[in-house]
Structures are given as structure tokens and as C-alpha cells.
Structure 1
Amino acid sequence: MPMPYSFSRMLIAVVFLVVVVAALGSVLLRQRKRLDALLAEFGGGPRIRSDHITSLRSAMQRRQKEYDVVVKQRDLRLVAIAATPLGIQLYDSEGAVVVSNDAAQRLLGSSGVALRERVGELVKHTRDTGAEVDERVLTSRPAERLTRVVVRPVGDREGVVVALVDGTKSRRIEKVRRDFIANASHELKTPIGALRVLVEALVATSDAATQSALVERLLSEVVRMSTLVDDVLDLARVESDVDEDAFERTSVAEVVQESLTGLLGESARYGVRIDVAGIDPDLWVCGDRRQLVSAITNLMDNAVKYTAAASRHVPVSVRAELHGDVVTIAVADAGIGIPQRHVDRIFERFYRVDRARSRETGGTGLGLAIVRHVALNHGGRVSVESLPGEGSTFRIELNQGGPCSEY
């Protein structure tokens, strides 16, 4: 009995499917054998086992962790380079810049073409020779600037690292120091020379009246020299780093009264009264009491001497007021005043408007420099208004803020 047509078609389809599956299985078997052969050739064993896959995964994870550590360290180095105040540049073996931090950009940008050209020359020299270079480059445009340039090779001619250090401030400070020493030496030389002459004259004479006069002059020169040394030491103290641990809530009235007490003899000698009435006893500033007393004393001392020089019987006035959170201490005199051409320079060290008068009054030329630095140390400022022939008013402005403002 013949098979139905539909059944025969189904049987053919099944046979065809079996043949296709067998063929695919044969292909897959051959591919598996080839893969096993490759693994065997590279030490992977005859078959891929689950332990091999686990081992491979662990190795890849270790490599990933190592890579992550390297990337993190690289990023930290880049952050450190970017944050350092030194200018840092890194050049590759071809001389191209691969790293340049903000400090380097600022220095190279503010020093004109001359510095950039010189850095390029030094980088080329180090690339060619492998030698380290340490050079100070002085440029004058757009403004005078001193830059220390240190160039070092990286590895075996793999690149070059450049460090740029701005030495402009240090150079200016060194110049100020040299000028200060020269001026101080000159100022000390004058009384020392006078002392020598006076001592020689005293030894050479036997006249009692002459000896008495010479002794008085000797005493005057000793006092002058002692005052100069004291002022130099005071200036050195106020120019040093600010010690905020010494700051305390300080009564302005007490500071002014302490300054007045120290000047009572001077005031009586010159016949000039100092009026400190009306200062609020509750008014305070945050600061170093010793420095504040030094500043106010210097202003009051100058006011007394220059009022006496004008031969006016007008008291020196000291006032203190609070405006917002700023305390203003004003010292006004009716003295000879200051010509306008000198006003901008009177706070410089050893600057004197009238050297002859300064010698007569025993001035050292350091008092107003001390006042200025005390004001700066307290985050404030000092100013002056003056009219020749009418007098001067000096003002110190100090904030009530600072390390003791919360008390």
C-alpha cells in the first residue's frame, strides 16, 4: 500500500534536517579540534576547561587593577603639577610641549618674548647634550622680571622637564635689604663719628666748662644712636612675619594712654600738650598691643616735635572713631606741614623731609616706616593730609575683624 503524499513529504523533510544537523555537527567538531590544536600550541592545553577561563578572567582583572593604579598615579601627578606654584613644562623627545601648568603659562606670558626664546634655547641644549641647566634670566619688558630656569633631561633623552621660578620678589627684597643695611650703616656712622670727635676733644681739654659742654653733647649723641638702634629693631620686628597668636582684643583708649605716658617728658620739654580726651573706653581693635603702641607713639612724637617747630601753642589732638567695622585713629598737629612733593615718600625708610631739622629733633627717619608696617600687619592702612604752614593729620585705619573678632 503506497504511503500518503503528505507523509512522504514529511519524511523527506526529517531526513533533510538530520543530514543538515549532521553536517553542522561535523563542521563544529572540526572547528573545535582546530581551536584545541591552537590552544595546545600556545600552552593552553588540549581543551578549554572552566578553570582555564577562570584563570584568564583573574589575570585580566589583575591587569585592569594595575592599569587603574597607573592611571590614578598619572592623574595625581598631573593634578600636583597643575597646583604647584612653580612653573612646570614637560617636553617630549621631539621638543614638543606635552605638559605646561598654569604657573608656567603666567610666567612665560608676563615676561615677554625674551624669556620664551631663552627657554627654547636651553631646552634644545639639554636635548642635544643631555646636560642639566640652571640659569637666571633677567627680562625688562613688559616689566623687569627675574626668572630662574632649571632644565633637566628625562630618562635617556626621552624628554626634558623645565622648572620656572619667579625670583622677582626675592630680588626686590634683596635690594631693599642691601639699601636698608647701607642706610643704617650710614646713619650709625654719623653719631659714632661725632662720639669719636667729642671724646678726643674731651681728652684734649682741661677746662671744666668745656668738658661739661662736651659731656652734654656726648650724651645727646649716645641718645641719638640708642634711638636709632631701637627704631631699627622695632622696624625689623614689624617687618617680620605676622604672629596672629599675639593678637588680642585691645582697648584703643589704653593704647593711646600708654603712648601718652611714654611721651610725657618729651611733651613737657617741647611745651606741647597732647589732648586724648573723648576716646570711647569700649572701642577696641584686634591686634598686637606692642605694635599698636609703637605706631601711635611714633605719630604722637612727630606731632609734638613739628608743632613745636612751628612755635604754635596748639595741642596735638588724638581721636578715635568707629565707622562700620573700621576703627580710625587720627593724630592731628598744627605744625609746619609737609610739602606735597614729599607726601608720597614719607613712609619710606630713612626718608626725611628736612634732614637738618631731623638731626635737631633726634629723628631717625624710621618712625613712619614703622607706622606703615604696623598698619599693614593688621590688615589696615595709614594715610596723611597735610598743608604746609598749617599742619598734618595722620590716620590709621584698622578693621575690628581678625583672629579675635568672635570674642
Structure 2
Amino acid sequence: MLEGRRIVLVEDDEIMGASLVQRLELEGAEVQWHRQMLRALPAIRTPRKPVDAVICDIRLPDGTGEELYETLTRTGHPPAFLFITGQGSIDQAVRLIRSGAMDYIAKPFDIAQLLIRLTHVMQPRADQEMPPESGISEAARAIDRQVADAAGRDTPVLLRGGPGLGKVRLARRIHEHSDRRAAPAVVIDALGGTVDTAALAGAISSAGEGCLIIVGIGRLTSDCQDLLLAALRKADFRLIATAGLRLDEKVVDHFRSDLLSLLTSHEIVVPALSERPEDAVWLARRLFPSMNARRASPLTGIAASAEEAIRAHDWPGNGRELRARLLRAVEAAVGDLVLTSDLFPERAGDAGSRSLAEVRDAAERSQIAAALERTGGQVREAAKLLRVSRTTLWEKMQKLGL
């Protein structure tokens, strides 16, 4: 029933938790069991692998399931939530459903009924044949589902988005998972310079029954557009094109409206990394091992405070900027961890231009993240280190999005 599914269980009751883990694993699921909200939060927000669903008790020792869910919604789209609630918390569960959570089940419950509810709340595994490559957010998983769907069709495809989002990589994935994968995928880059008709005709010929990937199709000259449309009517290649988000504006200037209509009828829009903060952290974690392997003395990892800085940054250069910053940070780091100052060295001179409140929030965020890292996410112990009450620490964590 749950073969290959990844479930996060948030339950502090040892007997119930162990029973659920045992049954879920018997059904074929891969289960992560967390007994505290603060441990569950990073496991759901930035997991090593995509999470299909979360089973969460509403009452937890360090907070509530509602607080966990609302914290996740502030930075992205959480996986499907199935809440476990007592009779006294049903109104709270109903409120959560109205906020976007998928379902709840009241105690005492039959575990077979829980499995049925869990199966219903999970999305179909449309991305099962193609492993997630774009990120862990719902937006990224939607991209992967669209790529998988495009690989199964044979129509022209347009990948639209800003620079540094890996559109060419996605184009290659479509080709590599399509029925045309035995034939070549020929890439012609219109962003790198003007493409003439001879070069385009040569690329079409080389593609044969494979795919022609045109990078920056909005830069093609009118003659090349005419040639491309004529070739699409009679040749056997498949067109996969990339473009920025403003391709339709080029119609006023020089781009053919009929070519635009053909492309936009099957388009995949890749959102900017600033709209997917959890994917920025996921990408950094994914890139770190290979970069770290080049060091003579490898680092331990990326500090929690640095991950928060990654999550908060706008990333105007998207993944390309993140790769460049992380590579520089890994090379420059002198301690055991990549720190915020390694990733954003320019911020050292910006403190004077920020408001006192911004400087204070940044300092508190860094200190709290460091304390939580030292205590393994234990709020009570972190509060002792910071010499504040557990309630004060929790309120600050809520305010700062930690």
C-alpha cells in the first residue's frame, strides 16, 4: 500500500509511535520518527529526500502540531498532513483543514482506518519514474512531474524562467527519459551569440530523430524562425526550447506569434529560487559534498545559521549564484563549518546601513540557531545556554521563523 513512500511521524507517545512505525514499515514505507516539534521541523522543511506525507499528533511536548504546520507554511508548501487528535482538539483539527492540511483522525482509531486516510491524502507518485532533481518544495515537485509528463509526449516543449535555474538540464532530462533517447540531443545556444540559418540547419540535420534544444529561442533572428517553423512541419526532430519569462513581449519586436503559440501550448515555468527558499537549502546540501571533497581538510558541514541565511537570501542569480557563493565559501572556510560570513562576506560592511532592529534580529537569529545546533534542537537546553526562559525562546523562534 505504501511501497516507496516517505513518511515523517511526529508523535511523542512511545507506544503509539513504535506501533505506527512498525505498521508503516510493514506496508513498505520509509519512516522518520520525531518526538519533538523542533526535531521534526527541519526534517520536513529541508529533508534529504522528498516527504510524501506527515502524520502528526496535535499535542507535542515542545509545542503543537498547529504551530509546526503554520511555521512550515510561512516558508513554503508543506507535504500532506494527517493529524492525530483527541476528542478535545477536533475543533483545532478542523481549523487546520481549512488552512490547507489534508485530514485528521481522532483517537482512539483503528490503524487500518489511518492507513486508508493516509493513502487518500498523499499525491499520486507521478514523479516516481524520474527522481526529484529540481528541489523538495511542492513547486519543484510540480516541475518534476511536468518534466516526466513532457518526456512521455512528443510535442515541442518550452522551458521558461530566469537565468541560473537549470533549464538546459531539464531539457536534457526530457530527452533522456523520452522514446528519442537513443538519438542525439543537439544543443544550439542563441544566448551565446547570433545563430545564422546555416548553423540552425546543421543542428536540425544533426538532431535527426532526436531532440533539438535551442537555448534562448527568443534571440533567434526572423530568418531562423522561418527556417525552424518550416523544418517542424516536415522534419522528424523534437524541439525543446528555453526562454526567459518575457518571451511574449518579443512578439511586438520580432518574434513570430505562431511560433510562440506552438511553444506556449506546452510550456513548463520554472519559479525563481527566491520563491522556493527550502529548495535553496536543499541545493546547498546537495552541492556541498562534492565541493567539500576537494579540500585538503574537509569541513563538517554547513552551519544552521548559514542555512537560515541561505533561506532568507533573494538569490537574484538563482542556482548559478548559489553554486558560486557556496564554492567560494567552502574554499574560504577556516573552521569546521561553512558560516554565514563565508557565504556573504560583503555583509560585514553592510551592518551600518541596516536598522538597529534588523541588526538585532540577525544577531538573535544567529545565536539561537547556534544554540539549537549545539543542543540538537532541544529548546529547553538551548534556553539555558542563552539564559532566557523556554517561553521567551519559543516566542523569538516564532518571530524569527526558526
Which structure has more RCO (C-alpha within 8 Å, separation ≥ 6)?
2
More strand by share: 1
TM-score by length of 1: 0.25
TM-score by length of 2: 0.26
